Amino acid sequence: MKRCFLVFLLSILVLLPHALFGFDFTLGGKLGLNIGWISGDDWQAELDFWDDYGSADASMVRLGVSAGIFLTFGLVDNLAIQPEVLISTIGGTYSYNYSGYDINGVHSSTVLEIPVHLKPRFRVGFGHVYVLAGPEVMIILGDIHLEESVSGSSAEIDWEVEPDNSALFGISAGLGLDFPLVFGGVFSAELRYSRTFTEWFDDYESFQNAVIVMIGYGFQL
């Protein structure tokens, strides 16, 4: 029953805008890699504290993946709105020295990522160059996973932390290129940047940053 309801709801989302407003409508999927890191005054202050005991570094990045679907509503020839629903693994890494031991840490979580992009596009040859810009929300699925290990040792600890805010609001922007394929549909490749403005934990300023490389395939309905 739930599956039938989801199919029905998706059908409504696909057909209703086209029927009512005559949008050019494209449905497709995307897959990509993201390079994530954490920023923020409190995050940096904590690392500065550990830096007094040796050294600390938050510039290390963490690789993650993103995959999901997109819907493109063509408003006019060169302008569209493109919402997406993605499952992404995000986070960052850090390191510090304590009492002569090098500690490496990982901060990670899985999120439901929902950006809504304004998408101006410009014809270049037989394809388009396009710009993506708009707000997004990341909904944290489960707890935040933290892991620390000692360099040169098998010692390792990990734990789960429940965030104070499970919905993180931010922005997403990027550039892309799409072109039609011989067998039908449209292939796309894009580079984008995203950043949250909501803190994971109340009164602790730390934000997620990511650079994402994605490819996609879509077909017009």
Least confident among 49-53, 84-88, 95-99: 49-53
Residue 15 counted as domain residue: no
pLDDT in tens, 169-182: 999 999 999 999 99
139, 166 contact by CB (below 8 A): yes
Residue 85 counted as domain residue: yes
Residue 66 has pLDDT above 90, yes or no: yes
Per-residue model confidence (pLDDT) at position 198: 94
pLDDT tier at 8, thresholds 50, 70, 90:
very low
pLDDT in tens, 105-153: 888 999 999 999 999 999 998 899 999 999 999 999 999 999 988 877 7
pLDDT tier at 6, thresholds 50, 70, 90:
very low
> Which residues have C-beta within 8 Å of that of residue 45, sequence separation ≥ 6?
none
Per-residue model confidence (pLDDT) at position 104: 84
Least confident among 15-29, 68-82, 166-180: 15-29
Task: Give the CA count within 13 Å in the CB-facing half-sphere of 203.
Answer: 0
Residue 190 counted as domain residue: yes
114 vs 19, residue with greater confidence: 114
Residue 126 counted as domain residue: yes
Neighbour-count burial of 22, counting CB atoms closer than 10 A to its CB (0-12 exposed, 13-18 middle, 19+ buried): exposed
**What domain range is 113 assigned to?**
21-213
pLDDT tier at 77, thresholds 50, 70, 90:
confident
On average, the pLDDT of the chain sits at: 86
> Which residues have C-beta within 8 Å of that of residue 85, sequence separation ≥ 6?
68, 69, 70, 112, 113, 114
Residue 8 counted as domain residue: no
pTM: 0.82
Residue 16 counted as domain residue: no
If one counts the domains in the chain, the total is 1
87, 113 contact by CB (below 8 A): yes
- CATH code (residue 167): 2.40.160
Residue 3 counted as domain residue: no
Residue 166 counted as domain residue: yes
Per-residue model confidence (pLDDT) at position 53: 63
